[in-house]
Structure 1
Amino acid sequence: MNKYNLNDQMPNFSVLTGTGQTMLSSLVSRKRRTALLLLRYAGCRICQYDMLQISNAYEDVLLSGGQVLIVLQSSLPSIQSLQEEHRYPFTIISDERGVLYRALGVGSALSAEELSSPAGQDKLERAVACGIVHGAYEGNELQLPAAFVLTPNLKILFAHYGSSAGDTPSPLKLAALMRA
């Protein structure tokens, strides 16, 4: 499993969005840095909570000069339904078969216990308090998350491989990384 690090070049993957098949480079801003987050799937409460937090802080992301792309192991219809319901200000990429996760070396937990953490439990409790309900299971249930910050030419400025379901950088940290 090949992991990517600071200053590596992100491959220019073919990706699927609500507007069709395109290249990752066409979604990455020509003038701004881009945070690429690989979460789990549309029905995951923690993932929904992370997306809500990013959506709520998107003004900070924009002020940092950045943008966010989210990858989910969900079908395009699931993502389109989620996007229609929440009107997220970022693009969501469908990777139903987990091709990007494998290509970027984003691993899986060995068990549900390994997938959980105190930070993940805290996010889960916050998600429940926000009224977020668990949706359909899709993809690899034990999938771990990852986060990257990319330059316009896909150079990696930040790479983080999550150790549990809730191990993703906060929107404020992402904004700071895109500002740097």
Structure 2
Amino acid sequence: MAKIEAGCKLADFSFNTPFESDVKLSEKAKGAKKTILLFLRYYGCTLCQLDIREYANAYDRIKAKDAQLLVVLQSPASTINAQMKKEDLPFDIICDPDMGLYKEFELGVAASKEEMIRPEDMPKMGEKRAKMEEYGLSHGAYEGEEMQFPGYFLLDSELNVLEAHRATSILDMPSVDEMIAKL
């Protein structure tokens, strides 16, 4: 299979959320001009909790650009629906506990903790830690691959890949404002 990059047409697939089964990506993508397919790590990760919260807080700005967000997590549906209801988030979480999508989209895994958070990432990590503390976020269960890198794929309504990004550290991702600017 060819690497998923900008300019490719994504093969359709079905996914499960904590609240729905067998949702077709092609049907979901028709709901907006653009779809951000955002790969994070797992729900217990405080950095991921922060990202989810910040995207939820900015979701009106995403919708105003005729766009939508789908967040992929390594967590099983049971983890998510034990902690929230469907109406708690304005976007869907795709549960990928077997990490099939992470593999298909060829998202990397760090070889060490030093590679996960590089020295040049420390100022950004400090800012994120301050926000995590402000929100009172605490680490939950470890799920999936702890050393997983995030990434995102920007799609149009026909599943054409407009942009592909595979992070090389857990902080090698655009901010919410930077992501909205891409729309």
1:37/1:4 CA distance change after superposition, 3 Å? same
**C-alpha deviation, 1:12, in angstroms:** 1.1
CA RMSD of aligned residues (A): 1.9
Q: Which residue number corresponds to residue 12 of structure 2? A: 12
Partner SS for 2:63: helix
2:133 maps to amino acid:
V
Q: Which residue number corresponds to residue 116 of structure 2? A: 115
Residue of 154, 158, 161 corresponding to 2:163: 158
Is 1:169 the counterpart of 2:170 in the alignment?
no
1:51/1:13 CA distance change after superposition, 3 Å? same
**Which shows bigger deviation, 142-151 or 112-121?**
112-121
Separation of aligned partners in 2, 1:115 and 1:24: 30
Partner SS for 1:136: coil
Unpaired runs of 5+ residues, structure 1, are: none
**C-alpha deviation, 1:29, in angstroms:** 2.9
1:40 maps to amino acid:
R
1:80/1:170 CA distance change after superposition, 3 Å? same
Separation of aligned partners in 2, 1:70 and 1:80: 15
Partner SS for 1:83: coil
**C-alpha deviation, 1:45, in angstroms:** 0.5
Separation of aligned partners in 1, 2:182 and 2:146: 29
Q: Which residue number corresponds to residue 36 of structure 2? A: 35
**8 Å CA contact retained: 1:2, 1:104:** no
Q: Which residue number corresponds to residue 92 of structure 2? A: 91
Q: Which residue number corresponds to residue 72 of structure 1? A: 73
Partner SS for 2:162: strand
Q: TM-score scaled by structure 1?
A: 0.91
Partner SS for 2:72: strand
Identity across the alignment (%): 35
**C-alpha deviation, 1:106, in angstroms:** 0.5
Q: Which residue number corresponds to residue 106 of structure 1? A: 107
Separation of aligned partners in 2, 1:143 and 1:111: 11
Within 5 A, what are the aligned runs for 1:137-156?
137-156=142-161
Q: Which residue number corresponds to residue 62 of structure 1? A: 63
2:30 maps to amino acid:
S
Q: TM-score scaled by structure 2?
A: 0.89
**Which shows bigger deviation, 26-35 or 147-156?**
26-35
Separation of aligned partners in 2, 1:86 and 1:111: 37
1:62/1:105 CA distance change after superposition, 3 Å? same
Separation of aligned partners in 1, 2:86 and 2:22: 22
**8 Å CA contact retained: 1:60, 1:172:** no
Separation of aligned partners in 2, 1:91 and 1:133: 22
